Structure 1
Amino acid sequence: MTAQEAVQAFLTWMGAERRASPLTLEAYQHDLSRFMAFMGEHLNGLPDMAGLAHISLRDMRAWLAHEQAQATLAPVRKTTPDRAARTRSRRVSAVRSFFRYLARRHGVENAAVGLLATPRTKKPLPRPLSVPDAKAVPEDIADLANTDMASRRDAALFTLLYGCGLRISEALALNIADLSPMRGSGVLRIKGKGNKERLVPVLEHVQKVLEGWVRLHPSPLATSPLFPGVRGKRLQAGIAQKAMREWRAMAGLPDHVTPHSLRHSFATHLMEGGADLRVIQELLGHASLSTTQRYTLADEARLLDVWAKAHPRAHVAHK
């Protein structure tokens, strides 16, 4: 097996056994292609399976230095230093995953990969909407729709996103049949990342909006998508994102306001209301509590900003 064949086998395994998304597979294929292209030039020839085991830490560091230099010499990308570091961090992760696969499935061990330092990145803090803006999203976006069906559908979709903190992909994956448990227990069974299931409680207001939408649904069969497009197929995320872009432009809100901002708003507003961090973690379906803790940091940053603007001592007169 050549190195290129090993990469393809790894990507097939990621898709079949790890259930990686198409976007993840595309990113990993791109990252590993860059890694292999560099090593082929750096080592005067693409290494075979045995050669992969002998790539040294110095070779790995040379690859990372090359990636950093490429980012510096490509101003047309308009990328920030932190974004470039996140890209390099993702590429290191792809290479590590690939070599772990080689060790487990093909007995190709390379200790240098584990010694390679991951580029440090700043994790962006969540930027939620204000409570009034988050509440206004469903009705305001519904008002911009071209048809009555789209208006009522969008109102239900964005009510669900903010009311339950779902990812847009999770909401659009729902079928009408998925509402059945909600009618009895008041919860939705959501399939999140990695096909992990979680139970999400549904507020009474959200339940009423969803039930009202189902009564007007153009094809209310149990197997029908809960949120269909114009032709009856499952609504694409891009359509919902476009609707929110149009609304935020009219509302004068910044570019970071997206459907995912409603998930951030859901978590932040729960935390501000006194919800336990572990509860928020379960509701969001985060695998790690450290991911949920970003909302604590965001709240601290917001409090400091309010303090800096409001406290009399925060404004020092310059002589």
Structure 2
Amino acid sequence: MKSGYKKILLIGVLLWQVLLLAGCDHDLSKEPEKKVVEQVPQPFRNQDSRGRYDTIGKLGTYSISIPAGVIDGWARYMGDPGDFADPKIKARYQRPPKTYDLPIESFGFLYRITDGDVYTSFRKTEEDYRHDNETLIPYGKPFPWASVSVYGQYDAATPLNFNFTVQDDFRVSKEISNIDYIQQEQPLYGLTVYRANNGIDPETGEPWKSDTLTKDRMIKKDQAGNIKTYIKCEFTQHKNFCSHMFYNDNWHIQVWISYNRSYLPHWQEMENNIIKILDSWRVNREGKLLGKQIGKA
């Protein structure tokens, strides 16, 4: 009996040793390869007087360095998930390292129409903006600040004009609302003007009381006949606003501007000044500024 017990115990010990050796003797060749994390050198980035770093990337054609405190919100890069994307997609997304070649999809800023400056936090324009909000808006006075959104255009197949957009808007107005947009004889500030049914509500025979579907529409064509500027303006509101879009071929961008209609006479100056602002943010591929940045704190 004792002999049988010892034999069973010996077999158990030997079996345990075999299992132990098998567990230790693993094949290294079967281990999953470890990812080698490549260290990407960080590009030089300009800073403002407070030590804040610029936002960098490539907008359309050119590399830019946007002064800190200028962007209203944040810059979106090509490939970034949208605002309403699935949170799981956002969590998994890894943006490529920021460089002066990383394409910028869009960003926004505030532009002061009266002098061509931009809003920057921790600069006098921040104080000016607050002052104008408190002293002009409550009293219905024209607000001299325009909201600007800039969109890089990277699809070579998409024309840089509003030819289709304008035609389609007119078509929809006719088919859905039975409104004909009629070109006016006299241009306005160099713009060709179209008014809904010549500005008359056909049901009443009087001027429109509402401009929800009947905003004035204005265009400007280039020498080739392509529509490069498209503006829609309210005309029945307590405060009438304009939604202004234009393309710039040199930059390969589309720009949206929103402002009080009283500043419509300055539409061309706005376009020129916004391009001047973007030009001041241009850099070479190493991040060296090509001029003095407008809006830098």
TM class by smaller structure: under 0.3
More helix by share: 1
Larger Rg: 2
Q: Please give the TM-score of this superposition, normalised by the length of structure 2.
A: 0.26
| Greater relative contact order, per chain length (Cα 8 Å cut-off, separation 6+) | 2
Output the TM-score relative to the length of structure 1.
0.25
